Structure 1
């Protein structure tokens, strides 16, 4: 297939507002939970929404492919808050949303949605003008300019600093003057901060315009070095209307096959052009740091519950007031 270097990205990543080791970026071949090799007996039309940015990027190929097992009536959204209600009402069967949004919808709706796949790991990075920051403890004595105050990015960075012995507000300070990702990216391009935390694709946009900046820390890797379980920073997922899933199990299984294939092609940069991102160069360079995945079945709980616990401890409301139970995960 001809490589088409353009994809669903936006220079304002919507974050809950989820980077891990390379082996986690692709779904293992063979017997994967939730994915079977049976030939479908019926073709389904699935109403689905992708979210701009890395959370929706994995769907790009699927939306335009002629090789899908299902047909997809799709839409692209920049606002995750509008997708949950649509899935609950049945206006959409599935949607890509931030993981904490999924947990909140699940808890508040008493289980009317489920997560069928985790689709984005960490997209958060510390950028630096220099070579002094090589581990999280090197942030001691520094001010980190951040976006995402009172949301997942702040909770993640606070946890990683605290877990590694840094007292936030004393040993390391966060500056949220530019709380919007795009505004902070512009500030970084102008050589203003010594170091800052940004998500992809903003990271790539900054690096393309400011050669003094470098990626100092991959917070996904810092997480793996910090936690004592197998959890990851899990930023995005695909949810399904529970009633739809129960009545249309074959359609869900078909989707998992189609989506797995799409993710593999996106990561290989066989990307269908949806005319959303203005820069092909940024798209190409951002993909490896977007950590687009398709994790299904029992692996979803293993990879995400440690992450949800961190969010819950930081702010219970960020996951809907309580941790999601086992029924949250489609299996």
Structure 2
């Protein structure tokens, strides 16, 4: 078969099945297995799983995190039915945030005795342990653990900061905090389960981004009062939603995301509006601290110091109270209106 004919068939194959194609997809479509072999020989395809392939152009364009996601898809497509992707691999397929780029190989879990050794291959690792039916789902044709189980697994293996970021995101989607604790109750002898309990107790579904979560972690790790997330502040007839508020210090924290102004034609308008917004908030008696990802992750001590300074330098002696947790158009009785 000619090169052009092969490439047309590959175009159709990947258009149907997505960025990762399994050998079974070729057979199901009535195509010859040799199509994949020829694609690899011509460097049109790259083998990323035991029987799974991606297009070379997709692989070349992918960053490290996307390459890990593609490898996770490939590993997941090659798993037996009782194994489900977990940890960082599951987080990427579930759309949950990770603080750092994943490292190593994708990991899956199979129900069974946790003391039994792992199954390893060049493409991933399968371990055994607690995995109830309620914690199994599927994404992009691949078996993965549920978001709650993923949060538990991330906390156990990557620690409290990374676990908090994922748990905040999971709770923000509407998952109950008890879903995390119920899973942990069946894993009391597992390493890292104490971290899971800490994460479950401190997760906040009001946090809306990894940046907000790592900022919250800076306060938790220092045993400082934790700011409230996404609070509404009234300024006359106007209301502003701020990323965080420390009500006992009268300090507002605002996170500056990495892509906030990037390549935006209205960047000047955004900056002007933010300056006016900050002027009005300061005029109410709040201190304001802006922070970046680098501040929250790499310089948490400096961030906490800036908050202390902002509290000390506030222009008003009394604490401002005109804030609420719910939107200003919500019913006042359920809106937690202050002041």
TM range (shorter): under 0.3
More helix by share: 2
Whichever of the two has the greater Rg, that structure is 2
Normalising by structure 1, report the TM-score: 0.24
> Could you say which structure has the greater relative contact order, defined with CA pairs below 8 angstroms and 6 or more residues apart?
1
* TM-score normalised according to structure 2 size: 0.24
